[in-house]
Structure 1
Amino acid sequence: MLEDLRSIYIAHPRLRYVAWMGLVCVAIFLLWTAGGFPPPAWLVLIEFIVQVPRLWEIQGAAVLIPLLALIALSFLWLLSWAALLWI
């Protein structure tokens, strides 16, 4: 299947432009939805990790839920950007 797509891509020059425009649109969409690069979720995660010891003393184990949510969100943004760069 991948070979078929490659042969179609090579045979039709217009498809190259459409594919590149699609990738540019995806990159712009990622930048827009993430709030720029690096995504603010990464910056908030770094700030949060720095404050975890103090927050642990104040709130205890309840601090783990937001921490895990931020880690998951940051990981999803990383996967999105990696998938775009891999293509």
Structure 2
Amino acid sequence: MVALAQINTLAEINRVRREVGATKDRALKSELGQFFTSSIVASFMAKMFDNNESHVKILDPGAGVGILTAAYIERLCKKKKKTREY
């Protein structure tokens, strides 16, 4: 596992979110119902999960850049939980 000090995935995803958001017209995004979650909101939502389980499965219903999953995985890594990809 790569140490969080070496890579800040949440910050990188947030940068991509801002870049993509800046390329589209605000009215078009509103018409499409397209809104990207900020890293602050994603981190807040990640804190809502109960991390007492020894085995956790994640299904991210988002269709964006993956910031909700990244926020939760970052939280698990900070708590030193083992992660495994399926």
For the aligned pair, the TM-score class normalised by the smaller chain equals: 0.3 to 0.5
TM-score norm. by structure 1 comes to 0.36
> TM-score, normalising length from structure 2?
0.36
Could you say which structure has the higher helix fraction?
1
Q: Quick check: which has more Rg, 1 or 2?
A: 1
